[in-house]
Amino acid sequence: MEDAYARSVSEVLEFFAVDPSKGLSDFQVAEHARLYGKNVLPQEQSTPFWKLVLKQFDDLLVKILIAAAIVSFLLALANGETGLSAFLEPSVILMILAANAAVGVITETNAEKALEELRAYQADVATVLRNGCFSILPATDLVPGDIVEVSVGCKIPADMRMIEMLSDQLRVDQAILTGESCSVEKELAITSVTNAVYQDKTNILFSGTVVVAGRARAVVVGVGSNTAMGSIRDSMMKTEDEVTPLKKKLDEFGTFLAKVIAGICVLVWVVNIGHFRDPAHGGFLQGAIHYFKIAVALAVAAIPEGLPAVVTTCLALGTKRMARLNAVVRSLPSVETLGCTTVICSDKTGTLTTNMMSVSKICVLDSVSHSPLAAEYNVSGTTYAPEGFIFDSTGVQLEIPAQFHCLLHIAMCSALCNESVIQYNPEKRGYEKIGESTEVALRVLAEKIGLPGFDSMPSALNMLSKHERASYCNHYWEDQFKKVSVLEFSCERKMMSVLCSRKQIDIMFSKGAPESILPKCTSVLCNDDGLTIPLTSNIRAELESKFHSFAGKETLRCLALALKRMPTGQQALSLDDENDLTFIGLVGMLDPPREEVKNAIVSCMTAGIRVIVVTGDNKITAESLCRKIGAFDHLDDFVGLSYTASEFEELSAMQKTLALQRMTLFTRVEPSHKRILVEALQHQNEVVAMTGDGVNDAPALKKADIGIAMGSGTAVAKSAADMVLADDNFATIVAAVAEGRAIYNNTKQFIRYMISSNIGEVVCIFVAALLGIPDTLVPVQLLWVNLVTDGLPATAIGFNKQDSDVMKAKPRKVNEAFVTGWLFFRYLVIGVYVGIATVAGFVWWFVYSDNGPKLPYTELMKFDSCTTRETNYPCSVFSDRHPSTVAMTVLVVVEMFNALNNLSENQSLFVIPPWSNLWLVGSIVLTMLLHVLILYVQPLSVLFSVTPLTWTEWTVVFYLSFPVIIIDEILKFFSRNSSGMRLNYRFRRVDLLPKREVRDK
């Protein structure tokens, strides 16, 4: 029954044909179970482990690597290779892929836990009326029409319509559904609101919420999937994980790479068709196979085998840095996604605010001799910690607040007319509450006011342990006064009273809504001299004016406090006693904004990131908060910028599109609205970060490009999110965005480094094949260069320091390519030089080296016919390991210099020197040590087909390698100046690396 909230009690009972005094019969239970199903959330089949594993290999770049591994292995066997040499290359490639697959499987397994943890919020048992008798049954046995009784502490077992109140009031904590910290008062009356949201349905008890006060009976109207919890579960099921921008770019890069590799392999093979019949090959077919092997070697050179591992490593490093910022990353790719976030949809309660109700203002009657009559005090401190001060209207701090009569009596009333508890939790190193937020705020206020009669107040309190300090002043007043009788709060009276006795003096303290307390007051306590005077119409008017100012303009939640001298020996309170009260004061409280949020909002604006505050709270309160945090200082009003969920739904499609482009505040929302907001923003090509903490937020967190859960939130929200804020702080999100941008910049740098290095390897093999000289490098040497000499510096580039202006740039567009035209041209130039320098080292040994044969260059080009003609040198010289060792060493050293080029995209090494990233310097040193190791240690040198080099050969290697620094410095100079910009414009239209075709934002 979907509209039970809009039906009367009798209509609902009639719909289910149930007698509220007897409940359902056994026959009706069976019939309703058949019609409506069981009260369980359906078990969703988890993805089989083998499918999760296979899914990790469903990537073009990974498939290319697997194909390369298989072909390398088959060619090794075709050449008669056995043992380690045959398996080395394919084994290393497959080991890398297996490691990446393991990370992916773990991530996806964690994501599926969100649905399982949703079940933890379902009640286990329920007190049910059936066949005229109450019994405790498993909650799973409930059916629509069952009459259920609930009381304090009960978890609601299904969605139910209230039918009978068994206490003065019933309050329910709906935080897991609405995100709002205050409990909701339930009633029997029909809800007549159009497009009612959860907060409006005050006659419905929602599955999974908890009763915090009162006792009542209700009829079940929804079970299983047809509950509020069930709709959240269904929404999560429909939500598909969004592909991150980095994943999209890597997929595009893989597609591009596949085309390039295929083109190069075919080109090399075609270019050498004329050499197929060379006598050295022993026939046309054998020649075709020989050049196919060269083409495959080229493919191996083109594939950055270490790319997946380096990307994973760089993102992992980012997660460690974020953990230090209190941002715990659950999904590695989301680290980078933060860098291109354009919109942050932030929850209000607990993220922008402390989620700790605290008193911020006090109003008392100063004295009738003063003008104005009323005095205002400001209260500092925004948490449950007993830390804060009282300031007068001029901003002067009160040394001993308890010396002021009204403040002293406010402290007494706050401590005694109260049923909450504050305690210090040593594990969390913070103060925690038990009870209603408003009552806890009064407890904290009593601690800030302190105690009278001590000259050393309040410094004496600071000498107590934190556990003792939590409620020291409250306990003092509770010890001084004995509670005799209590009149509980009721929704009709909107007030609470407690009768206390001290030294034969009986006093009744009352607190409640100002509109309820003030009319019952006939006198007022003066703060200045402690006299009690009649409450005249002028004084009443001024106090009411202050109340309206607090509640209206400042949107504070107000409570009025009063007292009454009672006859000695009275043992009980009646409603008649709550008259002729003496007004003590008015307190205004709020869930205060976090102090650091204002600067964080400014940082977002500077960085081009829009913040949309999303809350279940009412519009006026939320708008007031937004003004307090300074998020919207630049706005005169909220017209066209602030919408309630129902207002937004009433807009036309075009109006919604325009509203989304300007929206800054979205109020009175429920789970479906959050998800709709995320989807609508994504359709406008925004990269959306969504924060949340409740079960209700899980679908939106899962749908967003990056879901951010609060550390204090529910397990469901954390499981559905990509990142968890340990400190629940919005400012942490901004710090994480800056880190995400820095990670993306570093990711671009190492991918560009690997591209330029791999272009060098391709050019090396291609030029060698084109010139008809022997193979410059063997596949195992290429693998060594790709994995070790590429991998270590590429990983270290991830440690490049964050640019100082990283949060001054606008968010990058989702369709921005890793390497645009001008950049690709730059790295093509570098890559061509790397390749030519490598071939030059190879040729130098044959033609010029004192240790070489000093052959004429034409002889080197005829190497394949050496055995068929007479020569004055042995043909075995072409099998010497020196030339390929020189070429391989040139390739390694030139790539180390190229790594230094990537400390910055455009800044010179004179501006950002190598020692700015000591990790990179260390990786270069380690790489060179490993390379020297394979040259000079016997088993390794045989495995990699290399040999020790002489000092002269090392000198030539350095001369051939160092110019790469000079070339890149020239290219960086052009990039920093207008000529580079013009080239960039020229290349912009046809990027050599693909882009995602989406609308430019």
Element (H, E) at 61: helix 60-78
For residues 700 and 692, the answer to whether their CB atoms sit within 8 Å is: yes
**Cα–Cα distance for residue pair 913/113, rounded to 1 Å:** 47
Calpha distance 592→614 (Å, rounded): 16
Cβ proximity of 552 and 621 under 8 Å? no
SS3 363: strand
60-78 vs 307-324: helix crossing angle, rounded to 10: 140
In 3D space, the residue among 683, 692, 687, 719 whose CA is nearest the CA of residue 706 turns out to be: 687
SS3 137: strand
Which segments within 214-273 are labelled E, that is strand? 215-222
By the 8 A CB rule, do 931 and 886 touch?
no
Both structure tokens of 145 = 């029409």
CA atoms within a 13 Å half-sphere pointing along the CA-CB vector of 185: 11
- Residue 560 three-state SS: strand
Of the CA atoms within 13 Å of residue 182, those in its CB half-sphere come to 16
The closest alpha carbon to 19, from 143, 131, 167, belongs to: 131
DSSP secondary structure code for residue 353 in this structure: B
Q: Which of 629, 589, 542 is nearest to 361 (CA)?
A: 589
What is the H or E stretch that residue 597 is in? helix 597-606
Please state the φ and ψ torsions of residue 819, each to the nearest 5 degrees.
Answer: -130, 110
- Tell which phi-psi region holds residue 580, choosing left (phi > 0), alpha (psi between -120 and 50) or beta: left
- Tell me 877's DSSP state: G
End-to-end CA gap in the chain: 44
User: DSSP character for 915?
Assistant: G
Which distant-in-sequence residues (6+ apart) come within 8 Å of 79 by Cβ?
none
Residues 346 and 744: beta-carbon distance below 8 Å: no
DSSP letter for 527, please. T
Closest by CA to 723, choosing from 315, 338, 236, 308, is 338
* Long-range own/partner contacts, residues 274-280 (CB < 8 A, 24 or more apart): 275/772, 275/864, 278/864, 278/865, 279/864, 279/865, 279/867, 279/868, 280/864, 280/865, 280/866, 280/867, 280/868
Q: How far apart are CA 740 and CA 746, in angstroms?
A: 10
Active site residue 880: no
- Give the pair of three-digit tokens for residue 227: 């509950």
60-78 helix and 245-271 helix, angle to the nearest 10 degrees: 30
CA distance 825 to 991: 10
Asked if the peptide bond before residue 245 counts as cis, ω within 30 degrees of 0, the response is no
By C-alpha distance, which of 338, 307, 342 is closest to 321?
A: 338
Q: Are 579 and 521 in contact (CB under 8 A)?
A: no
158 neighbors 207 (Cβ within 8 angstroms): yes
d(CA 746, CA 798): 5
- Out of 347, 506, 705, 722, which one is annotated catalytic? 347
Q: What is the largest CA-CA distance in the chain?
A: 131
d(CA 40, CA 230): 9
Element (H, E) at 968: helix 963-976
Active site amino acids = 347
